[in-house]
Chain A
Amino acid sequence: MAIVNSGSQSSIAGDFLHLASEAIRSEQSSEGALRTAISRVYYAVYLTARDQLFGLDGTGLTGGKRKLLEREFRLKRRRDPGSHDLIIFAITDIQKTPTLNPLTLSQQVGQLKEARIHADYHFTTGKLMAIPEDNWRDYAEKNIALASQLLAVARKLPSYKSP
């Protein structure tokens, strides 16, 4: 028996953001909850961007389109792309419009991703020193604010066309 998906991708992304907001509103939220909030809001934006560019679950990123994008990535970065890298990289290929700034958008999503890496993987003082805040609540709050702005832009991304 499979889980039935009761929401659209868009509504789930909104849920992620909502849950993250609840975590910072509650005084009781633990560090784990605040770290999870940071992680969730990155995924809200990342998954929305992926699905806008390549269809639900990124299913359009297959075959020739995927190979072409991976080849371009390898050519530029001299390494194999990770799945997140590939989506953020694809954003830079989109045509700039008056309402879409692909170069800066990819950097902004990169900032959320960086926060998610800290939240999910880093526990030592040396690694945590790179975080530009002195507590998880403020860091989560900043990332939620950023994600809520970026989500609106990600929802307007066009379908990806190879350059």
Chain B
Amino acid sequence: MPLTLSKPVIDDASIDMPELIAPAKDGRRIQTFPQFETEGPTAIASKIGAQSLGSRQVLPELSILGESTLGEQSPLSGKHDSGRIRVVGVPKLEWPSGQDPILTDIVRRLLRTLYVIVVSRALQVGFPLRGTIVSVFQDPTEQERKAVLRLACNANVTQALAFWDSLETDLQSWLERLSEYERTTFITKLGLRVHWR
């Protein structure tokens, strides 16, 4: 039985995936979301139905459990010319059912922030996130255990990697603001994985 993720809350038909540029011959990967570079977040937001970006409306509110309260209950929404309500929501952050020693308070807090960074970026660029789930991965060969945030998306590999790459600056900036202990915890105990269709 495969890993199951929460029910999609994104209406695919309402999202225009940004046009992607083919990988350059010199080995560079595609530039991420050129639309975003030229039009800015607000223009992109209007295309995906969000009312505003760069404000708190973009970020899902977090409950004390760290789960988004913005999912199906109160999605960002806008209207098509036809009057059809266009829904752009965010998937809830799902946690493993049992307790696990790796999921300490600090790891849970870092995972919640990582989730917010990812979801915020996804909304900015109209990236079709389908599910976000935390799981624990153990590497038996190197005695390594990690808490992993897995993203499932309705994108192809090129789009998924472009989105993943686009998180680098946000992640680097975030890490710079963390304490040494938190930064070390992030690098050693957390992982981010992206799974596409």
**Which residues of A approach B to under 8 Å, CB–CB?**
76-79, 81-82, 84-85, 92, 96, 99, 101-104, 107-108, 110-111, 113-114, 117, 121, 125, 129-134, 142, 145-146, 149, 152-153, 155-156
Q: Which residues of A contact B193 (CB under 8 A)?
A: 107, 110-111, 114
A-contact 0/1 string along B25-45, CB 8 Å cutoff? 011110000000000000000
What are some 25 contacts across the A-B interface (CB < 8 A)? A76-B187, A76-B188, A77-B188, A78-B188, A82-B141, A82-B143, A85-B142, A96-B172, A101-B165, A101-B168, A102-B168, A103-B168, A103-B171, A104-B164, A107-B192, A114-B139, A114-B191, A114-B193, A125-B1, A130-B3, A131-B3, A132-B195, A149-B157, A152-B29, A155-B27
State the 7 A-B residue pairs at the shortest beta-carbon distance, nearest first: A82-B142, A101-B168, A145-B157, A152-B27, A134-B2, A99-B28, A132-B195
Q: Which residues of B contact A153 (CB under 8 A)?
A: 27, 29
Q: Which residues of A contact B157 (CB under 8 A)?
A: 142, 145-146, 149
C-alpha gap A84/B29 in the complex (Å): 24
C-alpha gap A11/B137 in the complex (Å): 32
- Determine whether the beta carbon of B172 is less than 8 Å from that of A103: yes
- Is B161 in the interface zone, CB < 8 Å from A? yes
Closest A residue to B24 using CB positions: A99
- Determine whether the beta carbon of B152 is less than 8 Å from that of A92: no
CB distance from B3 to the nearest CB of A (A): 5
Q: How many of B's residues come within 8 Å of A, CB to CB?
A: 38
Closest A residue to B133 using CB positions: A132
Q: Which residues of A contact B74 (CB under 8 A)?
A: none
- Determine whether the beta carbon of B142 is less than 8 Å from that of A104: no
CB distance from A126 to the nearest CB of B (A): 10
- Determine whether the beta carbon of A96 is less than 8 Å from that of B188: no
Q: Which residues of A contact B191 (CB under 8 A)?
A: 107, 110, 114
- Is B167 in the interface zone, CB < 8 Å from A? yes
Closest A residue to B168 using CB positions: A101
- Is B194 in the interface zone, CB < 8 Å from A? yes
A-contact 0/1 string along B160-178, CB 8 Å cutoff? 0100110110011001000
- Determine whether the beta carbon of A121 is less than 8 Å from that of B141: yes
CB distance from B188 to the nearest CB of A (A): 5
Partner of B135, one of A79, A125, A130: A130
Partner of A129, one of B3, B152, B168: B3
Indicate the member of A96, A113, A149, A153 with the most B CB atoms within 10 Å. Answer: A149
